[in-house]
Amino acid sequence: MKRFLLILLFFPLVLGAQEYVDVLKIGYGQTFNNDFADAEGSTYVKSFEVDLTYPVVIHENHALITGLNFSRNNLELLPGADFTSLYSTTLKLGLASTLSEKWSSTVIMLPKVASDYEKIKGDDFYFGGIALLKYQKTDYLKYRFGLYATSEAFGLFTTPIVGWYYLSPNNRFEMDMSLPIVADVNYCFGATTIGIDYFGIGRSFRLYGNASESSAYVDLSSLEFAGYVQFNVLQKSVLLRAKLGYSSNNYEVYADGETIDLGLSAFSFGDDRTQLNPELNGGIFLKFEAVYRFHLKKEKEEIETIID
């Protein structure tokens, strides 16, 4: 009965090709060296992230999506300065719906609090969201079309999303693309999987330090490319990844109140801000991740066996 309830809980979220849900993901990484451009000195960036997704069925064609994402980035924003920790906590609340045999949709609100957490005030709250429309082309291929948008300290950031999910008939080759934000291509050899992935997005964090009011914020432009080796344990329910790649993350500091007209994907419109710290060069990074993955197909087959 418990397993049957789990099927009811997760099955509305996955149609066709993708037959799993990554419920919990924990990651820790560090760059080896990031030099400041046009200034002496360097730093390194330490990152920590926890991502939880918990769907709740409310109807045979609808499921409520809940979850939480927490991240911490630690680095020197200026040569020789103390290390600063930048935090972000995002709530996930949305709805996944089956519209027909071919079409489905996902709409998620993403309110968050982002700053150095020395203080938490109303200006540190930002509202964002993502909307996706998905088309099941074949049993192995699904297309995605959507839009991501969020308010930030620098203004409005938005990007269209175009992508697809493909799983080969032998369940070994997988492509999970939601461009220009994330991409993952991998091949499974059984207990081991090798792959390459990409992550890119814009975020901001308000700075307080020891002051009672914020006078500046950090505009983070994140582009990460990595290759990875993944070990699949406990019947591929626990995934352990080791990543090595290049990060072009740039932590730009601006005076509070200086904004742009619009951020659209990789482009900024109406940007006449004055950066207060030197540019930060990219660097090689190493990252370790642990993922708890819930497999729908396996559970469904076990239930059918019990019923038969």
pLDDT band at 297; cut points 50, 70, 90: low
Question: Phi and psi for 75 in degrees, rounded to 5?
Answer: -165, 170
pLDDT band at 266; cut points 50, 70, 90: low
Q: What pLDDT digit, counting tens, does each position of 15-67 carry?
A: 335 568 899 999 999 999 899 988 888 999 999 999 999 888 888 889 899 99
Determine the pLDDT at residue 17: 52
Over range 229-234, report the average pLDDT.
Answer: 96
pLDDT band at 178; cut points 50, 70, 90: very high
Over range 120-149, report the average pLDDT.
Answer: 94
CA dihedral 129, 215, 248, 229 (to 10 degrees): -60
Of 8, 93, 14, 84, the C-alpha closest to 44 is: 84
Q: How long, in residues, is the chain?
A: 308
Q: What pLDDT digit, counting tens, does each position of 158-167 carry?
A: 999 999 999 9
212 φ/ψ sector (left φ>0, alpha ψ -120 to 50, else beta): alpha
Are the C-beta atoms of 57 and 63 separated by less than 8 Å?
A: yes
Question: Phi and psi for 168 in degrees, rounded to 5?
Answer: -65, 155
**Which has the higher per-residue pLDDT, 12 or 78?**
78
**Which has the higher per-residue pLDDT, 18 or 175?**
175
Q: What is the mean pLDDT of the chain?
A: 87
Q: For the chain, how many structural domains are there in total? A: 1
57-91: burial string, b at 16+ Cβ within 10 Å, e else: beeeeebebebebebbbbbbbeeeeeebebbbbbe
Determine the pLDDT at residue 161: 94
Q: What pLDDT digit, counting tens, does each position of 66-123 carry?
A: 999 999 999 999 998 999 999 999 999 999 999 998 999 999 999 999 999 998 999 9
Q: Which of the residue ranges 12-16, 18-22, 138-142, 176-180 would you say has the lowest mean pLDDT?
A: 12-16
Long-range contacts of 178-184 (CB under 8 A, 24+ apart): 178/144, 178/146, 180/265, 180/266, 181/148
Parent domain of 151: 2-307
Q: What pLDDT digit, counting tens, does each position of 208-221 carry?
A: 987 778 889 999 98
Determine the pLDDT at residue 137: 94
- Residue 2: both structure tokens together: 């418990």
Determine the pLDDT at residue 211: 78
- The secondary structure element, H or E, covering residue 180 is none
